[in-house]
Amino acid sequence: MLLDLLIEAGNLKKLPRTGWLLRGVPNPESIADHSYRVALITLFLADELKASGVEIDVERALKIALIHDLAEARVTDIPLSAQYYLDKGKAEKKAAMELFIKTPNPREYFRLWREYEEGLSREGRLVKFADRLEMLIQAYEYERAGFADLDEFWGALDYLRESEFYGHFKELVEGLAERRTGR
Amino acid sequence: MLLDLLIEAGNLKKLPRTGWLLRGVPNPESIADHSYRVALITLFLADELKASGVEIDVERALKIALIHDLAEARVTDIPLSAQYYLDKGKAEKKAAMELFIKTPNPREYFRLWREYEEGLSREGRLVKFADRLEMLIQAYEYERAGFADLDEFWGALDYLRESEFYGHFKELVEGLAERRTGR
Amino acid sequence: MLLDLLIEAGNLKKLPRTGWLLRGVPNPESIADHSYRVALITLFLADELKASGVEIDVERALKIALIHDLAEARVTDIPLSAQYYLDKGKAEKKAAMELFIKTPNPREYFRLWREYEEGLSREGRLVKFADRLEMLIQAYEYERAGFADLDEFWGALDYLRESEFYGHFKELVEGLAERRTGR
Amino acid sequence: MLLDLLIEAGNLKKLPRTGWLLRGVPNPESIADHSYRVALITLFLADELKASGVEIDVERALKIALIHDLAEARVTDIPLSAQYYLDKGKAEKKAAMELFIKTPNPREYFRLWREYEEGLSREGRLVKFADRLEMLIQAYEYERAGFADLDEFWGALDYLRESEFYGHFKELVEGLAERRTGR
Amino acid sequence: MLLDLLIEAGNLKKLPRTGWLLRGVPNPESIADHSYRVALITLFLADELKASGVEIDVERALKIALIHDLAEARVTDIPLSAQYYLDKGKAEKKAAMELFIKTPNPREYFRLWREYEEGLSREGRLVKFADRLEMLIQAYEYERAGFADLDEFWGALDYLRESEFYGHFKELVEGLAERRTGR
Amino acid sequence: MLLDLLIEAGNLKKLPRTGWLLRGVPNPESIADHSYRVALITLFLADELKASGVEIDVERALKIALIHDLAEARVTDIPLSAQYYLDKGKAEKKAAMELFIKTPNPREYFRLWREYEEGLSREGRLVKFADRLEMLIQAYEYERAGFADLDEFWGALDYLRESEFYGHFKELVEGLAERRTGR
């Protein structure tokens, strides 16, 4: 039922984001912590895009943001080091399908999920942009607090700079990059 | 500007929900953890309401869910025991206003925030319903894990049962109540 | 009665000092941790003042130190970022009054509490000096351990340097400042 | 110097009370957390005794409470299971002596410490009473939160009941015992 | 080289055992915590078997115990809920192979690893027996401390009872089962 | 009997390594975490020594590694600061003896324990080498993650360089030293 799904989503609060954990951050953020800010970023960016005249379905974008990591409630946050050995994408796809069966509209949610995963829609790609941006803001926060060994994450800056949304959010992206350097 | 707001929203990941803390749950969920599931619940409930023919603006509801606790990034999660001594609502209102100034559209976000706080719209009231429901699901999870002393929280069941949305989500609410009793 | 108060004082062990938390220190000290060292510092400083011929009531100073943060058992450690939006002093005053009613001598304890809060007596002001000093020693410890982003706290050095007690404890204050710089 | 001692006292914030740890309480209270409430209890009990006409030096009692566990900043909280194999008392005595050398008045503080350790004065014995009472209040709090396996601690009730102070604080002690049973 | 492997093995200290985490145990044991006791159990059981006249290579058994979870340094402790969606065995096999390349004798270590994974030798099967037993002792400890919702784990009792080693360690297995029931 | 010992060994998972704790690392590794990697290092080094023609009993070395810190399940990880005041070696010796009584072969295990403690055999000395190396790898990991104030630990490099095993593992030791410097 839906209740089962909502209880299972509670796993996202308990599960740590393993990337930070493996670099020595004690008690790092949870997957839900991350997902929350991804959705918040999506909200502000989608609204700005719309105000700039870009055609974007804000509701759709928000829905995608909220469910884009839901499969991790079953699969956990499998780190990069593991992805050489197993097909994370495939696993999350299967898990997503089975989770959405517990919703009133499985097909729609799964479609939204694929839009993110496969970049099928502008909304899906915007959430991916928000996802990377969120990670970098968190990396910046951890570095500011004194944690080190996080250089690797900043490769994601390139992803942001090459994105179709970079033109709109250049100030945001470069503002973050400068803050980091200015430290 | 917006970047400052996004960084500040990171506080919600660091700040514990004090209600659990004060009842002896070690390392309880963060405010962001909670907000995430509130938004997820809002998504599913809003979609169901719409499918049932209830007039509801899903986008609006999702936006409200994502910003409803944002003021706590500055004010923190002030527990009930403190609310006898200070005006939490007023504090969060002021903080919300100043936070939203950093967004491209302060007036709109503040309006959305008030819809939640003051119950001005169906969407705002739905998020409050989701907020209470989320808390009870979490209480259930903590009790299932062995934590006790959480009876007080279950008073929120009455709130849910008297809500305008109870008719639509009776199964969900009573399903949760039964699971708890069945323990 | 008194037992209720003592149990409630247990909250001070569970509640984190939010200043550190918001700057990214994971699992920072509790309010009780802080209060303990404030009282210990007060003990040594009061004894030294007395030995130097300053008229000071050591017992009074120790009592003030032990109760100066007691109201936070209900109000929690509200951080600076929240104090723009609510009247922390007023809230703690009310909470202190209601807490002390559970003691055999409410009026006296409340008077002591006010001596700290309003700087009404030398003893009250000494505890405030100890309170700031304690915070800086903790900031030094966190920085030594690798945490950063704590510069803001060191503004309290000025407070110490302008205090009526600075002449007596210059060595202590400047010793700490030098250790920090020498890092 | 004194600064060294104050920094070293910071260890008491970092060190867990091992009794709880070994019974499975995650992230239990620190030694400083415990010492804080011992001193607070001492304050209220000493004031009550005095009001009842018992001759007691409140200042003395508070000083003892604040330094009674200071040696653990070097020796740590050695649990019962270890005390069969090493002489904790002797170790703490030596450590206390060396720590107090950093104070302006080593001899006096060491005397106070011995009053607690060896029960040489009414004030010293009162702090021991407060120390045991504090432990039981904490045990009660942990049990209320859902932790189990803490029966062993309650043997300390006998200590309290046989104490010279029991007559004065019977209500407090039995009130706690009843709360536990009433759970 | 070997140093890289040893540093990477440090991941096992940072990574939680997800089974406990998902059932609400805060800050549960690490994979290394678990592996340590598996190896310790293997030591005692292998020695006992040998003393009883069973032909067993103790050195071999210990080596297997120490490396049986090494692949999780890259793959993490993927919980049961994820194993429906991905081939954990295959992933760990590949990761194990690549990790052992950093040792002086890759082929031998990989063979040992397979003896555990595929049950190819008595020593490999003994470590699996020790692995399950370790998990149940941990479940017992968590339950004794107050955690609940761990029934599912006790299905592993059947595995132990059907094992070729049950005859030798019946007392151990049933002793644990009785302790649990006696709670 | 043996079950009691195995449960007691669970303490090693709960007890922090106090050296890190006292230098401000939050939630540092457990004693079991450390022991695990000591045993793993012992495994690889013993195998290499043997391959180089050094006469070494690998099984013996592994057994020693697994039990070398077992006494800390009762005595805890007493830090250096405490060792001026109590005889840690003597305490652990007594505790080890009493613990091993619960095993089928107390005399043998105690002998192995002494080989480590007193350096009576090449195997015992190799485990001590592994113990120090493990600590330095951990120090390196913590420093890499941003923690500071760990210089003191690196004095152990001298121990490694003067060891009889240094010739065989020079590359390993100096590789670690260089990584640290290269940071």
Of C27, C141, C145, the CB nearest to F147: C145
The CA-based dihedral angle spanning residues B177, B34, A106, A128, taken in that order and rounded to the nearest 10 degrees: -170
Q: Is the pLDDT of residue A183 over 80?
A: no
Name which of B144, B149, B180 to mutate to probe chain E: the one with the most chain E Cβ atoms within 10 A of its Cβ: B144
Q: Which chain C residues are within 8 Å of A25, Cβ to Cβ?
A: 26
- Do D48 and C176 make contact, defined as CB atoms within 8 angstroms? no
Tokens of C88: 């922390």
Of D12, D103, D175, the CB nearest to C44: D103
Write down the residue that tokens 């049973």 correspond to.
Answer: D181
Q: Is the pLDDT of residue D183 over 80?
A: no
Q: Which tens digits make up the pLDDT trace of C53-78?
A: 999 999 999 999 999 999 999 999 99
Q: Which tens digits make up the pLDDT trace of B87-120?
A: 999 999 999 999 999 998 999 999 999 999 999 9
Q: Which tens digits make up the pLDDT trace of C74-93?
A: 999 999 999 999 999 999 99
pTM: 0.97
Please tell me the distance from the alpha carbon of residue D5 to that of residue A78, in angstroms, as a whole number. Answer: 46
> Any chain A CB within 8 A of the CB of C183?
no
C-contacting chains (≥3 CB pairs under 8 Å): A, B, D, F
Give the other-Cβ count within 10 Å of C53's Cβ.
7
DSSP string, D68-118: TTTTHHHH----HHHHTTS-HHHHHHHHHHHHHTTSS-HHHHHHHHHHHHT
Name the residue of chain F whose CA is nearest to A144's CA.
Answer: F146
> Any chain E CB within 8 A of the CB of B141?
yes
Q: Which tens digits make up the pLDDT trace of F78-113?
A: 999 999 999 999 999 999 999 999 998 999 999 999
Tokens of D142: 């942990």
Q: What is the mean pLDDT of residues F44-66?
A: 98
Q: Which tens digits make up the pLDDT trace of F114-149?
A: 999 999 999 999 999 999 999 999 999 999 999 999
Nearest partner of C67 among D62, A149, B30, judged by Cα: D62
Min distance D45 CA to chain B CA atoms (Å) = 25
Please tell me the distance from the alpha carbon of residue D112 to that of residue D71, in angstroms, as a whole number. Answer: 13
> Any chain C CB within 8 A of the CB of A141?
yes
Name the residue of chain F whose CA is nearest to C142's CA.
Answer: F24
Give the other-Cβ count within 10 Å of B16's Cβ.
23
Name which of E23, E30, E137, E144 to mutate to probe chain D: the one with the most chain D Cβ atoms within 10 A of its Cβ: E144
Write down the residue that tokens 């898990």 correspond to.
Answer: A95
Min distance E22 CA to chain B CA atoms (Å) = 10
Q: Which chain B residues are within 8 Å of C85, Cβ to Cβ?
A: 74-75, 90-92, 94-95
Q: Which tens digits make up the pLDDT trace of A134-177?
A: 999 999 999 999 999 999 999 999 999 999 999 999 999 999 99
Min distance B182 CA to chain D CA atoms (Å) = 18
- Do B23 and D142 make contact, defined as CB atoms within 8 angstroms? no
Name which of A40, A64, A69 to mutate to probe chain B: the one with the most chain B Cβ atoms within 10 A of its Cβ: A40
D-contacting chains (≥3 CB pairs under 8 Å): B, C, E, F
Q: Is the pLDDT of residue A72 over 80?
A: yes
- Do A147 and F144 make contact, defined as CB atoms within 8 angstroms? no
Write down the residue that tokens 């407060």 correspond to.
Answer: D130
> Any chain C CB within 8 A of the CB of D173?
no
Of E5, E40, E47, the CB nearest to F104: E47
Confidence (pLDDT) at A22: 98
Confidence (pLDDT) at F91: 97
Of A5, A47, A104, the CB nearest to B47: A104
Which region, left, alpha or beta, applies to residue B27 given φ > 0 means left and ψ of -120 to 50 means alpha?
Answer: left
Stretches where chain B sits below pLDDT 50 are none
Name the residue of chain E whose CA is nearest to F58's CA.
Answer: E59
CB pairs under 8 A between A and F: 22
Please tell me the distance from the alpha carbon of residue B133 to that of residue B160, in angstroms, as a whole number. Answer: 7
B68 to A59, A90, A144, B134: CA distances (angstroms): 17, 35, 27, 14
Confidence (pLDDT) at D159: 98
CA angle B89, B90, B96 (to 5 degrees): 85
Please tell me the distance from the alpha carbon of residue F18 to that of residue F75, in angstroms, as a whole number. Answer: 12
> Any chain A CB within 8 A of the CB of F26?
yes
Q: What is the mean pLDDT of residues D32-52?
A: 98
Q: Which chain D residues are within 8 Å of F74, Cβ to Cβ?
A: 81-82, 84-85
pLDDT bucket at C104, cuts 50 / 70 / 90: confident
- Do B78 and C81 make contact, defined as CB atoms within 8 angstroms? no
> Any chain E CB within 8 A of the CB of F145?
no
CB neighbour list of residue F59: distance below 8 Å, 6 or more residues apart:
E58, E59, E62
Min distance A181 CA to chain F CA atoms (Å) = 17
Q: Which tens digits make up the pLDDT trace of E11-41?
A: 999 999 999 999 999 999 999 999 999 999 9
Give the largest Cα separation in chain D, rounded. Answer: 50
> Any chain E CB within 8 A of the CB of B27?
yes
Q: Which tens digits make up the pLDDT trace of D81-136?
A: 999 999 999 999 999 999 999 998 999 999 999 999 999 999 999 999 999 999 99
CB neighbour list of residue E140: distance below 8 Å, 6 or more residues apart:
E176, E179, E180, F7
Name which of E149, E152, E153, E183 to mutate to probe chain B: the one with the most chain B Cβ atoms within 10 A of its Cβ: E149
Confidence (pLDDT) at D53: 97
Q: Is the pLDDT of residue E146 over 70?
A: yes
Helix C31-51 to helix D2-9 angle (10° resolution) is: 160
Confidence (pLDDT) at C182: 82
Q: What is the mean pLDDT of residues E50-75?
A: 98
Name the residue of chain A whose CA is nearest to C27's CA.
Answer: A27
Confidence (pLDDT) at F183: 55
Helices within chain D (DSSP H only):
2-9, 11-14, 18-22, 31-51, 58-67, 72-75, 80-83, 88-100, 106-117, 122-145, 156-161, 166-181
Work out the mean pLDDT of chain C and round it to a whole number: 97
Q: Which chain C residues are within 8 Å of B149, Cβ to Cβ?
A: none
Work out the mean pLDDT of chain A and round it to a whole number: 97
Residue A183 exposed, middle or buried by CB count within 10 Å (0-12, 13-18, 19+): exposed
Residue C171 exposed, middle or buried by CB count within 10 Å (0-12, 13-18, 19+): exposed
Confidence (pLDDT) at C183: 55
By the 8 A CB rule, do A18 and A27 touch?
A: no
CB neighbour list of residue C107: distance below 8 Å, 6 or more residues apart:
C100
> Any chain A CB within 8 A of the CB of F182?
no
> Any chain D CB within 8 A of the CB of B146?
yes
Q: Which tens digits make up the pLDDT trace of F20-43?
A: 999 999 999 999 999 999 999 999
**Collapsing DSSP states into helix, strand and coil, what is residue A124?**
helix
Residue C181 exposed, middle or buried by CB count within 10 Å (0-12, 13-18, 19+): exposed
DSSP string, A140-172: HHHHHHT----GGGGGHHHHHHTSTTHHHHHHH
By the 8 A CB rule, do A85 and A91 touch?
A: no
> Any chain E CB within 8 A of the CB of A94?
yes
DSSP string, chain B: -HHHHHHHHTHHHHSB-HHHHHTT-SS--BHHHHHHHHHHHHHHHHHHHHHTT----HHHHHHHHHHTTTTHHHH----HHHHTTS-HHHHHHHHHHHHHTTSS-HHHHHHHHHHHHTT-SHHHHHHHHHHHHHHHHHHHHHHHHT----GGGGGHHHHHHHSTTHHHHHHHHHHHHHHHHT-
Confidence (pLDDT) at E183: 55
Min distance F24 CA to chain D CA atoms (Å) = 7
Confidence (pLDDT) at F32: 98
